[in-house]
Amino acid sequence: MEVLERAQEMQRQGRSVIHLEVGEPDFPTPEPICESAIRAVRDGHTHYTHSLGSLRLREAIARNCSARHGVEVSADRIMVTAGSSQAMLYAFGALIRPGDEVIMATPHYPCYPNFIRFFGGVPVQIGANAADGYKLDPDRVKEAVTDRTRLLLVNSPANPTGAVLDLERLRALAEIGVPILSDEIYHGIVYGEPAPSALSVTDRAIVVDGFSKRHCMTGWRLGYIIAPQEMMRTLQTMQQNFMISAGAFVQEAAVTAIEQGDAATEEMVGAYRARRDLIVSLFRDLGFGIPALPDGAFYVFADASRFTRDSLAFAFELLECAGVAVAPGIDFGEAGKRSVRLCYAASVSDIREAARRIAKYLECREHRVED
Ligand SMILES: Cc1ncc(COP(=O)(O)O)c(C=O)c1O
């Protein structure tokens, strides 16, 4: 956020900045979804809904889960929330007591440890290996289990690495026997086989998901949680007290996203794929280490150790001197202290220009060092 805020300040001063730091789609929300929201407002969907979310949307989510993963969940195991962020807040709030340990991969989404610590929990971070495509290793998870372990947190496709866990690996993780909380917000944005849901390997998995990424609806704030039946009453009570319900007309638009959104998602994934291939090739040429192509989401986690030992200082250096904003790897855990995260939800021309600017800057910098 600090890189973004400084970038915006520079832009206000008239300087040109290319944004590769922000983690959201650069496409507008598809037209049918917008139209549906406008219609819903006109039709009076402007009041609270059921605290679990409108039945129409929960049934659509259940059908979608069945179509995408072949997994049957009933609408009463689904609760609609303001983004998957709120779903995560409720899940951790319902499950974590002080001292409970939550096992997760690192590099990781920066908010995870914050959520866990907020409820007095202890994040237990397992270093994921770049050469293994940053995938969580079940053997290392097994070694990390203690009598305080409460949850295993998985994120596939992952932010910031783009790692996708296949069915076999998910199954091995489920067999460890620790309850799984699966963040599936990047589902649908994959470049090979579809990412399986944790629900495909255990119907006890708690899944958080939403509309932000695959339907370009970050600002609409809509997500959901799928949980075992016995958790639902606790989750619902939290929703009734903290939020009452998610936005009514937004829920109507989300039904349209589910029913009509696939073609738009497919088109965007095609564009992301081309951008991924381009950014990886350009940044490898610049000297960044990217051992494997990311399989999903829209990020590349690139090793910048040839240029820096301090990713935060390096991110600000690239911003000030090259006019390119990237996310410092340290945000995603200690393992990222010499890396940067590049978000390729940016246009092809921006990606090319970012690489050109960084090349020029790194060349001057090298000459300065030699002088
Ligand atoms: C891994 C991951 N999970 C969850 C979220 C939150 O998404 P939202 O609250 O918009 O559903 C993000 C947002 O960047 C993310 O990267």
DSSP-assigned states of every residue in 311-351? HHHHHHHIIIII-EE-EEGGGG-GGGTTEEEEE--S-HHHH
Q: Is 155 in the pocket of ligand 1 (CB under 6 A)?
A: yes
Two structure tokens written together for 28:
């507008």
Residue 293 and residue 237 in one domain: no
Q: How far, in whole angstroms, is CA 23 from its chain's centroid?
A: 8
Q: How far, in whole angstroms, is CA 367 from its chain's centroid?
A: 38
163 Ramachandran zone, left/alpha/beta (phi>0; psi -120 to 50):
beta
Q: Which domain holds residue 289?
A: 2-28+263-370
Ligand 1 atom nearest to 85, measured from its CA: 9
Mutate to test the pocket of ligand 1, among 212, 217, 225, 343 (most ligand atoms within 8 A of CB): 212
Residue 234 and residue 317 in one domain: no
Query: What pLDDT is recorded for position 167?
Result: 97
Residue 174 and residue 248 in one domain: yes
Residue 207 and residue 330 in one domain: no
- DSSP of 181-221: EEE-TTTT-BSSSPPPPGGGT-TT-EEEEESTTTTT-GGG-
Boundary of a domain, candidates 260, 277, 308: 260
Q: Is 351 in the pocket of ligand 1 (CB under 6 A)?
A: no
Residue 22 and residue 151 in one domain: no
Two structure tokens written together for 342:
């590049």
Residue 75 and residue 179 in one domain: yes
Query: What pLDDT is recorded for position 369?
Result: 59
C-alpha distances in angstroms, 119 versus 92, 94, 181, 215, 260? 7, 9, 16, 31, 38
Please give the radius of gyration of the chain, using alpha carbons only, rounded to the nearest integer.
21
Q: Is 252 in the pocket of ligand 1 (CB under 6 A)?
A: no
Please choose, from the candidates 284, 326, 334, 280, the residue with its C-alpha nearest in 3D space to the C-alpha of residue 306.
284
Q: Going residue by residue through the chain (371 aa), what tens digit of pLDDT does each one get? A: 899 999 999 999 999 999 999 888 999 999 999 999 999 999 999 999 999 999 999 999 999 999 999 999 999 999 999 999 999 999 999 999 999 999 999 999 999 999 999 999 999 999 998 888 899 999 999 999 999 999 999 999 999 999 999 999 999 999 999 999 999 999 999 999 999 999 999 999 999 999 999 999 999 999 999 999 999 999 999 999 999 999 999 999 999 999 999 999 999 999 999 999 999 999 999 999 998 899 999 999 999 999 999 999 999 999 999 999 999 999 999 999 999 999 999 999 999 999 999 999 999 887 765 55
Q: Is 23 in the pocket of ligand 1 (CB under 6 A)?
A: yes
The closest residue, in CA terms, to atom 14 on ligand 1 is 23
368 C-alpha vs ligand 1 centroid, how far in Å? 40
Residue 54 and residue 141 in one domain: yes
CATH number of the domain at 304, please: 3.90.1150.10
Q: Is 83 in the pocket of ligand 1 (CB under 6 A)?
A: yes
Q: Which helix (H) or strand (E) holds 285?
A: helix 262-286
Query: What pLDDT is recorded for position 368?
Result: 66
Residue 350 and residue 238 in one domain: no
Boundary of a domain, candidates 210, 240, 260: 260
Helix axes 262-286, 348-370, angle to 10 degrees: 20
129 C-alpha vs ligand 1 centroid, how far in Å? 22
149 C-alpha vs ligand 1 centroid, how far in Å? 24
State how far the Cα of 336 lies from the Cα of 311, in Å rounded to an integer: 8
Please choose, from the candidates 203, 291, 185, 224, the residue with its C-alpha nearest in 3D space to the C-alpha of residue 90.
224
Looking at the structure of the chain, the number of domains it has is 2
